[in-house]
Amino acid sequence: MPAATATSPWYKHLWPWIIIGILACSVTLSLTMVTIAVNNPDNLVNDNYYEAGKGINRSLERELLGQTLQLHANVQLDDVTGEVNLRLSGDSRPQTLELNLISPTQPEKDRKVVLTRNDSEPGRYVGQLTDKIEGRRFVELLGVENDKTWRLFEEEQINHDQAVLLGDEPLQGAEDLKK
């Protein structure tokens, strides 16, 4: 009978450590992905579709009122001072306007600015931003005329010292409401 030969212990071989390394990496990456998913939930999903659908009709009615009043706005964002300068043309001159700059995917980058009318220049509104805004945004301008809220809403690319024009695009999806 042949004598048993002593071999070196398993931890002195290369292949067990490679296998353990692969398993450890996969566990670490899996835990990292779970942590990212838990800390950054996807808030783009709305589970109340009925209420969201009703909101679309209300939104289109406000946009139709904006079209009826022939409203157009030219928005200038000053990156240095943070001043928002808006010129409104059309048949509405409310005392204040609400400008919402909405990020499509990151709600923490949404900004709301209250604009007040400048009494010395008709149609000019001024407000203040707290930080610099750049990139793709949904730009929403809200005002009130005769106790009804109107809305100008467009998707715009906001760039350094470039004017944003609202009310220059045709209203999409409101064909049924005009009848």
Please list the residues that pair with 111 across neighbouring strands: 101
pTM: 0.66
What is the pLDDT at residue 174?
Answer: 54
Answer yes or no: are the C-beta atoms of 91 and 69 closer than 8 Å: yes
Query: For residues 164 and 177, what is the distance between their CA atoms, to the nearest angstrom?
Result: 27
List Cα–Cα distances, 28 to 21, 33, 34, 46, 58, in angstroms.
Answer: 10, 9, 10, 32, 48
End-to-end CA distance of the chain: 101
Residue with tokens 């946009």: 63
Q: Residue 105 burial by CB count (10 A; 0-12/13-18/19+): exposed, middle or buried?
A: exposed
What is the pLDDT at residue 176?
Answer: 54
Q: Does pLDDT of 97 surpass 50? A: yes
What is the pLDDT at residue 179?
Answer: 47
Query: For residues 54 and 49, what is the distance between their CA atoms, to the nearest angstrom?
Result: 9
Indicate the average pLDDT of the chain.
84
